[in-house]
A and B are shown apart, each in its own frame.
Chain A
């Protein structure tokens, strides 16, 4: 398990909101086609960290990155000023806490990324949409109403629609920001199954406040606290034999 290639290397990553420092010199490696979970108490910076990977912070004025996140095999620095955030987002997809389908049909929701990238061929778009919906385990439920509104689906289906939307453009990495916190247990189980299956083809980074979820779906886990990376290890090791006292306190529920 530990032999997989490095997909991204985070070095000395810091992040500032104006004068407030939210992340302090993080260093870690994201393994290719593995699921890496980010856990930690509210406000520890795990979502802030996640959003550095697709430069979502660039949409907020007065924010600043330090250090680097190098994406392999191309070896480009995701947070470098010279790198266009739109190009980064073209390669790294994201699924949000609250399902956020667009006010469009199911089909157009999934086709969105392709259209944004200038895809014209109907046949190609239809093929990619079907493939993405199948990969997101949603095809059978929606194949007869592809032109119905995406917002008419249930919460769990909406979230799988958002996953299909992100998959349709064949991203190298998928970011999940607490993807099941707005869903019921059955819908949650389906999303978790899906994340586990996605590992075959894409590198996954998932933020979760649910430690059981991290234990169930991830290969590696990073524990963060107050904007710092406290411990990073294989999930099986971190949850059974944590190296740091703070990690142990958190996973045994003493705080957080």
Chain B
């Protein structure tokens, strides 16, 4: 009886995942019946709501990848440095204060981060970069980066702390400094866990919606320049669901195609991360 209940509880997660995939695929099918897959993947315009609609996913995909890349250039170095400090240098008291504070940063609603980007980061960046538009991917990406630092730092730190003490002792006994031990022994030993942390960060950045919807602008724009304004896959989906498109229109169906792409991108990163983690797994 208990076992059956537990099994049921476990299956909820599997069932939910399968349902999401099922809905995305079945709802995207009518879209692909009207839009050839080739056009979808190669067309450089995404204007499903215009009188002469074009359905090229590339502009949205570019927006997602650019904001994600900007976010990672902040989150990976900052998260890794914070993790190394907390795990290898900080006193226990400092760690006990900083780690909960860091985790609290991860609990701030993302819409707040969106306004932080729009109201504080963008005006600041405009002073540094003259002519920067009010909506831009740079500001949104930077703030997403700040937002995912706690995830990257916290998971990386756990991975580093899991490296056994006797391995550190071996390094100290060779005359290594704290920094040498951290960089040459602890980090290599924690690499698989750190890869998992980075993948978690990437998935969060790819899927982040509110910050880009608020701060990056909503015009699909095929560009790799982060100082421009552009829509991402997620911000497009929000825009359409908030509008009043009829549910059987192709514009409405297009969000499922976009959602499917989003799912595939995150899945690809997760698989890559899994393979990477396995490649670097160390058994102590």
Which of A11-19, A36-44, A96-104, A248-256 forms contacts with chain B? A96-104
Task: Report whether A89 and B174 are in contact in the complex, using a CB–CB cutoff of 8 Å.
Answer: yes
Task: Report whether A116 and B176 are in contact in the complex, using a CB–CB cutoff of 8 Å.
Answer: yes
Task: Report whether A113 and B283 are in contact in the complex, using a CB–CB cutoff of 8 Å.
Answer: no
Which of A68-76, A139-147, A162-170, A213-221 forms contacts with chain B? A162-170
Secondary structure at chain B's binding surface: helix, strand, loop or mixed?
A: helix
Q: Find the A residue at minimum CB distance from B168.
A: A59
Given the contacts A102-B185, A151-B282, A112 and B173 also touching, CB distance less than 8 Å:
no
Task: Report whether B185 and A103 are in contact in the complex, using a CB–CB cutoff of 8 Å.
Answer: yes
Given the contacts A112-B184, A116-B180, A151-B282, A100 and B175 also touching, CB distance less than 8 Å:
no
B94 to chain A, nearest CB (A): 13
A133 to chain B, nearest CB (A): 16
Q: Is residue A56 within 8 Å, beta carbon to beta carbon, of the partner chain? A: yes
Within 8 A of B (CB), among A79-109: 86-87, 89-90, 93-94, 96-98, 100-104
Task: Report whether B170 and A169 are in contact in the complex, using a CB–CB cutoff of 8 Å.
Answer: no
Which B residues are CB-close (under 8 A) to A96?
166, 169-170, 173
Q: Is residue B17 within 8 Å, beta carbon to beta carbon, of the partner chain? A: no
B17 to chain A, nearest CB (A): 33
Which A residues are CB-close (under 8 A) to B283?
151
B103 to chain A, nearest CB (A): 25
A32-63 vs B, Cβ < 8 Å mask (1 yes, 0 no):
00000000000000000000001010010000
Task: Report whether B188 and A56 are in contact in the complex, using a CB–CB cutoff of 8 Å.
Answer: no
Task: Report whether A102 and B171 are in contact in the complex, using a CB–CB cutoff of 8 Å.
Answer: yes
Number of interface residues of A (CB under 8 A): 28
Q: Is residue A120 within 8 Å, beta carbon to beta carbon, of the partner chain? A: no
Given the contacts A98-B166, A102-B188, A102-B189, A112 and B171 also touching, CB distance less than 8 Å:
yes
Which B residues are CB-close (under 8 A) to A94?
173
Task: Report whether B174 and A116 are in contact in the complex, using a CB–CB cutoff of 8 Å.
Answer: yes
Which A residues are CB-close (under 8 A) to B16?
none
A115-B171 Cα distance, complex, nearest whole Å: 12
Which A residues are CB-close (under 8 A) to B185?
102-103
Q: Is residue B50 within 8 Å, beta carbon to beta carbon, of the partner chain? A: no
Within 8 A of A (CB), among B52-107: none
Cβ 8 A contact of A102, one of B170, B172, B177: B170
Task: Report whether A102 and B175 are in contact in the complex, using a CB–CB cutoff of 8 Å.
Answer: no
Q: Which of A89, A102, A149 has the most CB of B within 10 A?
A: A102
Q: Find the B residue at minimum CB distance from A95.
A: B173
Interface size bucket, B side? 20 to 34
Q: Is residue B8 within 8 Å, beta carbon to beta carbon, of the partner chain? A: no
A115-B174 Cα distance, complex, nearest whole Å: 10
Within 8 A of A (CB), among B139-185: 164, 166-167, 169-177, 180, 184-185
B267 to chain A, nearest CB (A): 29
Q: Is residue A122 within 8 Å, beta carbon to beta carbon, of the partner chain? A: no
Q: Is residue A117 within 8 Å, beta carbon to beta carbon, of the partner chain? A: yes
A94-B176 Cα distance, complex, nearest whole Å: 13
Task: Report whether A102 and B284 are in contact in the complex, using a CB–CB cutoff of 8 Å.
Answer: no
Task: Report whether B282 and A89 are in contact in the complex, using a CB–CB cutoff of 8 Å.
Answer: no
Task: Report whether B169 and A100 are in contact in the complex, using a CB–CB cutoff of 8 Å.
Answer: yes
B80 to chain A, nearest CB (A): 17
Which B residues are CB-close (under 8 A) to A162?
170
Which A residues are CB-close (under 8 A) to B169?
56, 59, 96, 100
Task: Report whether B167 and A165 are in contact in the complex, using a CB–CB cutoff of 8 Å.
Answer: no
Which A residues are CB-close (under 8 A) to B188?
102-104
Q: Find the A residue at minimum CB distance from B163.
A: A103
Task: Report whether A103 and B282 are in contact in the complex, using a CB–CB cutoff of 8 Å.
Answer: yes
A46 to chain B, nearest CB (A): 17
Within 8 A of B (CB), among A133-179: 149, 151, 162, 165-166, 169
A100-B102 Cα distance, complex, nearest whole Å: 32
A112-B172 Cα distance, complex, nearest whole Å: 11
A109-134 vs B, Cβ < 8 Å mask (1 yes, 0 no):
00011011100000000000000000
Q: List 23 A-B contacts (CB under 8 A).
A: A86-B176, A87-B175, A89-B174, A93-B173, A98-B166, A100-B169, A100-B170, A101-B170, A102-B171, A102-B185, A103-B167, A103-B185, A103-B189, A103-B282, A104-B188, A112-B176, A113-B174, A115-B184, A116-B184, A149-B282, A151-B282, A166-B174, A169-B174
9 nearest CB pairs, A to B: A90-B175, A94-B173, A100-B170, A89-B175, A103-B282, A103-B189, A113-B174, A100-B166, A116-B176
B residues at A contact (CB < 8 Å): 164, 166-167, 169-177, 180, 184-185, 188-189, 191, 282-284
